[in-house]
Amino acid sequence: MGNRSESAPAPGVARDLGWLLLGLGLLYLVPTGLRPLSNPDEGRYVEIAREMVASGDWVSPRLNGLLFFEKPPLFYWLEASAVTAGGTNLWALRAWPIALALLGVAAVYGTGRTLWGRRAGWWAGWALGTSLLYYGLSQVIILDMAVSVFITWALCAFVLAVPAPPGGKRRLLCYALYASMALALLTKGLIGAVIPGAVIFLWLLLLNRWRELRHASLVSGVLLLLMLAVPWHILAALANPPPGGWQGWAHFFSKDWNGQGFLWYYFWHEHVLRYVDPATASRVQPWWFFGAVLAVGFLPWMVFLPSALRRAGAGGWARLREDSATVALLLWALFPLLFFSFSSSKLIPYILPSVPPLALLTGRFLAEALAEPGARPLVWPMRVLGGLSAAAGLALPLVLLAESARVPVPAVPWLWALAAVLLVGGGAVLASLAQPNLPRAGQIAGVVLVVLLVSFNPLGAWLQRPSTQPLAAWLKPKLRTNDRVFTLLDYGPFQDLPVYLGQTVGIAGQVPEEQLFGAMLEEPATAARYPGLADYLATARLPGVTPNPQPNMGWQPVPGHRPTDYLMDAFLKVFGQKQTVYVVVAADQYQRFRREHPGARVFELWHDDNFVLFSNQPPT
């Protein structure tokens, strides 16, 4: 940390980035193969990519064979390249989230170094790359890391463009801003443009810097954004028009699914209704949810953030308005927090875009604090960190004892070991600070952090929903051309099954909500894999009915008849035929099926603690 003379030349960008990305790359990549695909999220997004490769249709995403318009396709395209290169190899499948996470770190490092010097960039990169939320999402195949990194590129380009003199460098940064917004928009929809656009607008408004627009390449930049982002939307709309034609735009602004096409579902249902309507979102959380997630997700660096914010705001607004980069970073951190807090749909990964600006502010504070005698501003935050670590080490065994029935047995020794590391490590940090020995305290805290991060994948393998990979490995060699495979009652735990089987499956007794709109658009083509779909959708299309595939949710189209009964009755007819049918069901649902349908001729073929595989034909 610091015997280098300040007059000595700072290490070059390439050297710094090399060490930063090598260290984080090993931390990200090595453990990622220790955890199977998670359900439903990773199974869902890999399957969409697999079906793109299998079908050659790169315009209309499909999930288990059904049109799937919840999100745009850029991440699916990237993941499809991983499927093509590595099949179901976990390192290949998770390569893109990891690569994008490293590119986000590189952008933050470069921005911090350009604004405040090498140390600020160095610490900002480490703070981002090893924060709990950022690291965790680098290990998961979902869209949030990708959209967050593209937003990070956009706003880092903006922050660096502002002080750049008019000319080629500024113009290039502006084009990077617009192109990154387009990539973010193609990854997760309008928030990819709304978040950076709102941050920039509020920055212009607060600082009255509208003159900056004269050198923002606004016209050509917006054209670049549109050229990149709009073509797919046009192609998808043309490929998936409303079944009844393009008339009736008044009907477009409603919650009625009937007669709608891609534009309604993608823009109105997914962007508007999911934001404003709790019934559509079904992901309601309290208003303070994202504040708590951000506080925990930015650990361990969160302990330095209050000091970083206090130092950034020293001198009040009069001084702050002269520091345009800090104002931009504060707006960047706050806007996603407030925007998503007002949303009716709240999931933990949504708040990730707020983490990079906090890392930049923290990196600047750490660089300045380390330059002071004895790094005194870091002592109290490090004490808080040691106390939190020790407290977590004490609390974790209590949680294990209270939740012993719910914790998988293989995870218990690892969790006890992790509790010991947290407790001993936190105590050692506090003891080192008492001597005082701040460098040693920092080294111990770093070791504890690495152990905590490396534990993510092994623990996740035991704590996440079980994988169907062992079942699929047993079944796949036995499948013949005309055999049919169904999941029973709940598709969520089985979204990785089509990935491992290399084919779509039928779904019995349920039409998952995320697939229902696709089923309505292509009913004839998909009815064979969704027995009873025609009767189910006929009722769903009744005026005023909002389709909901889940039982006991208030939709009773026929008195005393659950919605899923249409589907189950039709499936039992298929199951009773001579064609071989394989059925995968959760172990706790298997006995329910046998109890409710005692007449079904069932041959159990394979089971473990989580799943049962049975057939209508005896084993051969």
Residue 540 has pLDDT above 70, yes or no: no
Q: Tell me which residue of 502, 505, 612, 541 sits closest to 53, measured CA to CA.
A: 502
The amino acid occupying position 370 is L
Predicted pLDDT of residue 546: 46
Tokens 């949030």 -> residue: 144
Predicted pLDDT of residue 535: 80
* Distance, CA of 338 to CA of 290 (rounded, Å): 9
- Say yes or no: 194 and 70 in one domain: yes
Residue 138 lies in a domain: yes
- Say yes or no: 413 and 557 in one domain: no
Instruction: Give the count of domains, the chain.
Output: 3
Beta-bridge partners for 614: 583, 604
Residue 315 has pLDDT above 80, yes or no: yes
Bond before 531 cis per omega within 30 degrees: no
Instruction: State the average pLDDT over residues 224-234.
Output: 97
3-state SS class at 345: strand
* Distance, CA of 183 to CA of 531 (rounded, Å): 39
Tokens of 272: 């508007």
- Say yes or no: 254 and 210 in one domain: yes
- Say yes or no: 110 and 140 in one domain: yes
Residue 391 lies in a domain: no
Q: How confident is the model at residue 532 (pLDDT cuts 50, 70, 90)?
A: confident
Tokens of 111: 């921005």
- Say yes or no: 421 and 278 in one domain: no
- Say yes or no: 476 and 364 in one domain: no
Residue 481 lies in a domain: yes
- Among 463, 489, 507, the domain-final residue is 463
Residue 7 lies in a domain: no
Mean pLDDT, the chain, as a whole number?
A: 90
User: Domain of 50?
Assistant: 13-370
Predicted pLDDT of residue 550: 40
- Say yes or no: 201 and 349 in one domain: yes
Residue 4 lies in a domain: no
Q: How confident is the model at residue 246 (pLDDT cuts 50, 70, 90)?
A: confident
Residue 307 in contact with residue 361, Cβ under 8 Å? no
- Say yes or no: 21 and 156 in one domain: yes
The pLDDT tens digits of the residues spanning 166-219 come to: 899 999 999 999 999 999 999 999 999 999 999 999 999 999 999 999 999 999
Instruction: State the average pLDDT over residues 541-563.
Output: 44
Angle, vertex CA 386, rays to CA 383 and CA 388, nearest 5:
110
With 0-12 / 13-18 / 19 or more C-beta atoms within 10 angstroms meaning exposed / middle / buried, residue 314 is: exposed
In this structure, of 129-133, 188-192, 233-237, 340-344, the range with the lowest mean pLDDT score is 340-344
This model's pTM is above 0.75: yes
Instruction: State the average pLDDT over residues 593-620.
Output: 93
Predicted pLDDT of residue 287: 86
Predicted pLDDT of residue 403: 86
Residue 286 has pLDDT above 90, yes or no: no
Instruction: State the average pLDDT over residues 357-365.
Output: 98
- Among 408, 442, 463, the domain-final residue is 463
Predicted pLDDT of residue 86: 93
Strongest mean pLDDT among 226-235, 461-470, 538-547: 226-235
Residue 34 lies in a domain: yes
Residue 392 lies in a domain: no
Predicted pLDDT of residue 248: 65
Residue 191 in contact with residue 211, Cβ under 8 Å? no
More confident of the two residues 37 and 547: 37
Residue 350 has pLDDT above 80, yes or no: yes
* Distance, CA of 558 to CA of 561 (rounded, Å): 5
Instruction: State the average pLDDT over residues 567-579.
Output: 91
Predicted pLDDT of residue 193: 96
**Start-end of H helices in 491-578:** 497-501, 513-521, 523-526, 533-540, 563-575
Instruction: State the average pLDDT over residues 561-582.
Output: 85
With 0-12 / 13-18 / 19 or more C-beta atoms within 10 angstroms meaning exposed / middle / buried, residue 286 is: exposed
DSSP-based helix, strand, coil % in the chain, nearest 5: 65, 5, 30
The pLDDT tens digits of the residues spanning 397-436 come to: 999 988 888 888 889 999 999 999 999 999 999 999 999 9
Predicted pLDDT of residue 256: 77
Say which DSSP state 36 is in.
P
- Among 441, 463, 485, the domain-final residue is 463
Tokens 């996740």 -> residue: 460
Predicted pLDDT of residue 5: 39
The pLDDT tens digits of the residues spanning 431-471 come to: 999 999 999 999 999 999 999 999 999 999 999 999 999 99
Residue 541 has pLDDT above 60, yes or no: no
The pLDDT tens digits of the residues spanning 87-142 come to: 999 999 999 999 999 999 999 999 999 999 999 999 999 999 999 999 999 999 99
Cα 472 from chain centroid (whole Å): 26
**Range 24-30, long-range pairs (CB < 8 A, 24+ positions):** 24/101, 24/102, 24/105, 24/129, 24/130, 25/98, 25/102, 27/129, 27/130, 27/135, 27/450, 27/453, 27/454, 28/98, 28/101, 28/102, 28/135, 28/138, 28/139, 29/91, 29/98
Predicted pLDDT of residue 10: 64
Instruction: State the average pLDDT over residues 514-523.
Output: 85
Residue 70 in contact with residue 243, Cβ under 8 Å? no
Counting residues of the chain whose pLDDT is more than 70, the rounded percentage is 93
Instruction: State the average pLDDT over residues 296-304.
Output: 97
Q: What are the DSSP calls for 177-218, one per residue?
A: HHHHHHHHHHHHSTHHHHHHHHHHHHHHHHHT-GGGGGGTTH
Predicted pLDDT of residue 269: 86
- Say yes or no: 245 and 315 in one domain: yes
In this structure, of 80-94, 172-186, 224-238, 530-544, the range with the lowest mean pLDDT score is 530-544
Instruction: State the average pLDDT over residues 376-393.
Output: 96
Predicted pLDDT of residue 12: 86
Instruction: State the average pLDDT over residues 141-145.
Output: 97
Buried/exposed 563-598: b ≥16 CB within 10 Å, e otherwise:
bbbbbbebbbebbeeeebbbbbbbeebbeebeeeee
Residue 298 in contact with residue 357, Cβ under 8 Å? no
Q: How confident is the model at residue 34 (pLDDT cuts 50, 70, 90)?
A: very high
- Say yes or no: 79 and 227 in one domain: yes
- Say yes or no: 456 and 366 in one domain: no
Tokens of 167: 């000319």
Predicted pLDDT of residue 52: 96
Tokens of 211: 């003159």
Residue 344 lies in a domain: yes
- Say yes or no: 478 and 449 in one domain: no
